[in-house]
Amino acid sequence: MKKHNFSAGPSILAKEVIENTAKAVNDLNGIGLSVMEISHRGKDFQAVMDEAQALFKEILNVPEGYHVMFLGGGASLQFCMVPYNLLALKAAYLETGSWAKKAIKEAKFFGTVEIIGSSADNNFNYIPRGYVIPEDADYFHITTNNTIFGTQIKEDMDSPVPLIADVSSDILSRPMDVSKYGLIYGGAQKNLGPAGVTFVIIREDLLGKVSRQIPTMLDYKTHIENGSMFNTPPCLPVYTCLETLRWIKKLGGLEKMKQRNEEKAKLIYDEIERNLMFIGTAEKESRSDMNVCFVMNPDFKDLEKEFLDFTAQKNMVGLKGHRSVGGFRASIYNAMPVESVKALVETMKEFEQKYAK
Ligand SMILES: *Cc1c(COP(=O)(O)O)cnc(C)c1O
């Protein structure tokens, strides 16, 4: 029996996506070859890449003038590629967690970094407010969903300078006004596909504004001009992303995803609030629909391991919180069925019955 998979990443994929990938691993569209053993430049793989890029644009409603790329290196390489390509003098960053800090560290290699808002003072349990985006910055960088701390920016904000977002863990979880962003990027392994591929969506006019020389593989222009085929792309992960995009389209697109995700998140947050044994760690206004972080009520502190064992007996995995928050984290990405969320809520209730009542 398939386990209830609450892992933060790599994380759950839709059943149908895994099954269709397995088919293509054996035989892609009946061509008598695996998707893993064909030339990336042949027509069969070209069709996969073309459809993946086109569907990404269609589902996310990407306006004209943007390019969709599938690259290697993870979101972590984008922490470096973004400033390499776009930071001439100064960039503004919002410091909302561990991933934001890593992005800031890389940007400092290329210019001045102004941290205009931070929630470090409270272990990143909220999204900073009331900051001012400097108009002389080359761009403003945010992390829309803070996977580790369970906070999320759910609105597409206005920015006087190009807005750049690490959307690794909430891409395609809701409709997004891409026209408000200059560039969005993310590793696929949270909400889109397996590890090994990174998506970048960039507005063309951001390019060509820095004077430094950029090594070929790190230059966005290289990958745009070559349709993500300058070198061999991660063919199999791209194929799985395509299957996820097809699955999202079939389910009704991003409005539907948003509705499902809000429903799932509400079930768990309501239970955390009701249940005597657990306390949510993120501030209510900032909390994420993708990663739900909670800890044991201090009165029951000793039962933390007990609870994890209890969930394991119920066939649940991936609920241990990140070491920088402790406690528990339920990652409930797009592919997580509402049934698994209900099973977790039931388990939390049972645990309370057993130990607190
Ligand atoms: C997981 C994650 C990353 C790191 O992605 P890699 O592909 O492992 O480099 C970056 N940002 C966020 C928000 C993440 O959740």
Smallest CA-to-CA distance from 191 within 268, 261, 93 is with 261
* Residue 10: inside a domain: no
Q: Is the pTM of this model over 0.75?
A: yes
CATH code (residue 184)? 3.40.640.10
Are the CB atoms for 21 and 193 separated by under 8 Å?
no
Do 116 and 161 fall into the same domain?
yes
Catalytic (active site) residue 44: no
Do 243 and 279 fall into the same domain?
no
Which pLDDT value is given to residue 189?
98
* Residue 171: inside a domain: yes
* Residue 8: inside a domain: no
- pLDDT of 77-86, one tens digit each? 999 999 999 9
- pLDDT of 229-268, one tens digit each? 999 999 999 999 999 999 999 999 999 999 999 999 999 9
Q: Among 251, 284, 315, which residue terminates a domain?
A: 251
Which pLDDT value is given to residue 210?
97
Do 239 and 270 fall into the same domain?
no
Rounded mean pLDDT of the chain? 97
Mean per-residue pLDDT, 304-330: 96
Do 60 and 204 fall into the same domain?
yes
* Residue 169: inside a domain: yes
Do 157 and 300 fall into the same domain?
no
Which pLDDT value is given to residue 266?
98
Domain count, the chain: 2
To the nearest whole percent, how much of the chain has pLDDT over 70? 100
To the nearest whole percent, how much of the chain has pLDDT over 90? 99
Which pLDDT value is given to residue 356?
84
Mean per-residue pLDDT, 98-109: 98
Which residues form the pocket of ligand 1, taking CB atoms under 6 Å from any ligand atom? 9, 74-76, 99, 143, 147, 166, 168-169, 187, 190
CA dist 148 → 258, 294, 328 (Å)? 21, 11, 11
Which pLDDT value is given to residue 234?
98
Helix axes 338-355, 253-274, angle to 10 degrees: 0
- pLDDT of 272-316, one tens digit each? 999 999 999 999 999 999 999 999 999 999 999 999 999 999 999
- Tell me which of 99, 124, 141, 144 to substitute to probe ligand 1's pocket, judged by most ligand atoms within 8 Å of the beta carbon: 99
Do 157 and 145 fall into the same domain?
yes
The pLDDT of residue 75 is above 90? yes
Do 89 and 228 fall into the same domain?
yes
- Full domain range(s) for residue 308: 253-355
Do 119 and 141 fall into the same domain?
yes
Which pLDDT value is given to residue 1?
83
* Given the residues 166, 258, 264, 289, the one annotated as active site: 166
Mean per-residue pLDDT, 84-93: 98
CA dist 232 → 28, 53, 117, 222, 355 (Å)? 18, 16, 39, 13, 55
- pLDDT of 158-214, one tens digit each? 999 999 999 999 999 999 999 999 999 999 999 999 999 999 999 999 999 999 999
Which pLDDT value is given to residue 328?
98
Do 182 and 299 fall into the same domain?
no
Do 208 and 276 fall into the same domain?
no
**Atom 14 of ligand 1, nearest CA residue:** 168
Do 37 and 179 fall into the same domain?
yes
The pLDDT of residue 357 is above 80? no
* Residue 141: inside a domain: yes
CATH code (residue 314)? 3.90.1150.10
**Atom 4 of ligand 1, nearest CA residue:** 75
Q: Among 204, 223, 251, which residue terminates a domain?
A: 251
Do 122 and 268 fall into the same domain?
no
Q: Among 251, 267, 292, which residue terminates a domain?
A: 251
